[in-house]
Each structure stands twice: as structure tokens, then as C-alpha cells.
Amino acid sequence: MLTGHLLVATPGLRDENFARAVVLVLGHDADGALGVVLNRPSRTAVGAVLPGWEAAVGNPDVLFGGGPVGTSSAIGVGWCTGAVPAGFLPFEGQLGTIDLDADPLALAAGLRAVRIFAGYAGWSAGQLEREIADGGWFVLEALPGDAFSPDPEALYAQVLRRQQGRVALASTAPLDPSLN
């Protein structure tokens, strides 16, 4: 399964929700998949929506547009490098979701990084697999720091450039490949 991997939109993916998106897959099984878009920072300060969490999140300290589904809800993602704190649920290695009802400072003390996403990307059973087979997504290994990049808008090109061959070349594709 693809939990913990990155889905990186191929240059031909035209859906405005996912064009040039880098999605971290939080869960994937026979029933479907769920992820958050890592490279869509908003202009909304975390503290404006979730008071107390502004001190726990890194730079930039804004909410991220996690995807087009459930945009009135929030998902927290953390990077744990030591003992697993209460309120942290690992999904892959050192990465996990965090309980946003927990005490932000107590939970964040056990985490290297925190990011909060408004909404998520979701796929029904078999839908993501079809999109991958149709060439909509590159499936790539994630590095723990990808989810917490201080320059999220550059993440698309950065992730592609560290790959081999044609995948690395996709980092230089124009926004509209038909104009190339």
C-alpha cells in the first residue's frame, strides 16, 4: 500500500485541485486512500483558527490547504524523533497524525515538527490506483522533512529533482505542457 508515500502530480494532471500538487498519503487500503497536499500554504494563521497551536507549528505558521474534501475540518501531521507522545498516532515511520484536541505545547514538546491542514484529498476504493495507471501521479518515496518544508511552494520541483530520469525532467515542465 502507499501509506507514507508521496503522490506528485504529473505535468499532464489538469485538475485545479491537484495541478503540481505533492500529496502525502496518510492512509491507503482496499477501501480507498486519504492524504494531504503539502505545497498549498494558505494566508490564514494557525492561531486564528486553532488558538494555542501557533507556537507548535513551524515556518510558515499558516494552515495548509490539505485538499478539496472536508475543508472545514483540520488534520495535524507531526514528525516524532523520540518517545511517542500521547496524542501522536504514527502512520509511517516517524510521521503520524496528531490529536488537535490535545494540549499543543505538551504534544509539540515531543515532536520535531508539526503542520496543520484544512481539508484532505480522498479517493474511493480503486480510484487512486486508476489515476496512477492513467499517468496522473508519480508515486515517490517521502522523506520525513518533505511534510514540513520551510519553502512548500518549491517542494514540487525539489521532490522531482531528486529522482532519476524522466521523473526528474518533469520538474522543468511548463505549467501548460501543450505550450511546450
Report residue 109's pLDDT band, with 50, 70 and 90 as the boundaries. Answer: confident
Q: Rounded distance, CA 171 to CA 85, Å?
A: 37
pLDDT of 176 above 80? no
Cβ-contact 56, 107 below 8 angstroms: yes
- Which position has the higher pLDDT, 105 or 137? 137
Report residue 178's pLDDT band, with 50, 70 and 90 as the boundaries. Answer: low
Which run of H or of E encompasses 167? Answer: helix 165-169
Contacts of 39 (CB under 8 A, 6+ apart): 20, 21, 22, 149, 152, 153, 155, 156
Cβ-contact 50, 116 below 8 angstroms: yes
What pLDDT is stored for residue 83 in this prediction? Answer: 86
pTM of the model: 0.94
pLDDT of 111 above 80? yes
What pLDDT is stored for residue 179 in this prediction? Answer: 61
pLDDT of 180 above 60? no
User: How far does CA 100 lie from the centroid of its chain?
Assistant: 17
Report residue 155's pLDDT band, with 50, 70 and 90 as the boundaries. Answer: very high
**Mean pLDDT across the stretch 31-37?**
98
Domains of the chain: residue spans and CATH:
6-179 (3.40.1740.10)
pLDDT by residue (tens digit) across 41-62? 999 999 999 999 998 998 899 9
Out of 39-43, 78-82, 96-100, 149-153, least confident range: 78-82
